[in-house]
Each structure stands twice: as C-alpha cells, then as structure tokens.
Amino acid sequence: MATCSRGVLESRGSNREVVDSIFRVGSLNVGTLTGKFLELVDGLKKRHVDAICVQEIMWKSAKTKESNKFKLWHSGVVTNMNGVGIMLRTQLRNNIVVVIRFNDRVMMIKLVVDVVVVNIVGAYAPHAGLGDKEKKILLRLFR
C-alpha cells in the first residue's frame, strides 16, 4: 500500500494555511472476489484505505457494487477468469472525472483529490501460460 502525503493550501477567509492531506492507495490480487467483498471492505476500513486496485476478481460484467462506505467499479469479460476493479471510499465518488474500462485486465479512474487530479490504474498482467503473441499484446498495452 502506498500513502501519499502532501501539503495543501487551504483558504479560510483572508488567511491561508497549509494542511496535511493523506490519500492511501493499495493493490491486491484477490484470486476471486466472490464471497470476499464484505471481508475486503472491512479490511480497507480498518486500515483507512481510500482506494484500492483489485486484480483477478473473476466477475463477468462492467458494473459497480457498493457496500459499507466503499464502491467498486469492475470490468470482466469471462466468468471465473481475470477481471480487474478499483474500489473507492463512497465519499470520493462525487470527485470522479471519468471511469475507463479498457478490458478485463486494465481499467482507470480519474478523480480529483483536494486540488490534484489523480489517475488510478488497475492492471492484471499475468504472463504464465501465455504465448508470445499474447505477451506482445500485453507489452504494447502497458507502454
């Protein structure tokens, strides 16, 4: 998990002051999210995580799911295979500029945190068992 901390200039009337701001981001290969969604949400709340990228969720569809102050945007093409998602605290959902689901391996959410535009990219790129053609496609995708 990465913690981003920086000073933000906050305006209060004619006074200006620097306020510390922390935005915690993580990444986790869940193996499958079926039956684990609420358990994951509880862990994120306990660790004060604001956003997390999850890989190998194995859900088919491009939908959202919300529970216990977190919202998940996910992308999957085939049931029981691949799938990526990005979860955010629900209080951040109004800060979202765009959600882009490239395919079942890559997605991105662009949002505004304080006064900064943040791009969160979730990617799942296993190489075991792939042929040369698939590996080249993945390499092009991440360039």
Name the residue ranges covered by the structural domains of the chain. 2-141
Residue 22's pLDDT is: 81
What amino acid occupies position 72? L
Contacts of 39 (CB under 8 A, 6+ apart): none
- For the cut 50, the answer to whether the pLDDT of residue 2 exceeds it is no
Count H helices, E strands: the chain?
2, 9
Which range among 23-32, 53-62, 101-110, 134-143 shows the weakest confidence by mean pLDDT?
Answer: 134-143
Contacts of 77 (CB under 8 A, 6+ apart): 60, 83, 103, 104
Residue 105's pLDDT is: 85
Rg (CA), the chain: 17
Dmax (CA) for the chain in angstroms is 62
Residue predicted with more confidence, 35 or 112: 112
CATH of domain 2-141: 3.60.10.10
Task: Say whether 46 sits in a helix, a strand or coil.
Answer: helix
Q: Which residues pair with 9 in a beta bridge?
A: 18
- Using alpha carbons, list the distances in angstroms from residue 78 to 12, 61, 70, 83, 122: 51, 8, 24, 8, 18
Residue predicted with more confidence, 137 or 33: 33
Residue 143's pLDDT is: 64
Q: In angstroms, rounded to a whole number, what is the distance separating the alpha carbons of residues 62 and 83? A: 9
- What is the bridge-based pairing of β-strands 15-29 and 51-55? parallel
Residue 132's pLDDT is: 81
pLDDT digits (tens, 9 = 90+) for 115-130: 889 999 998 877 666 7
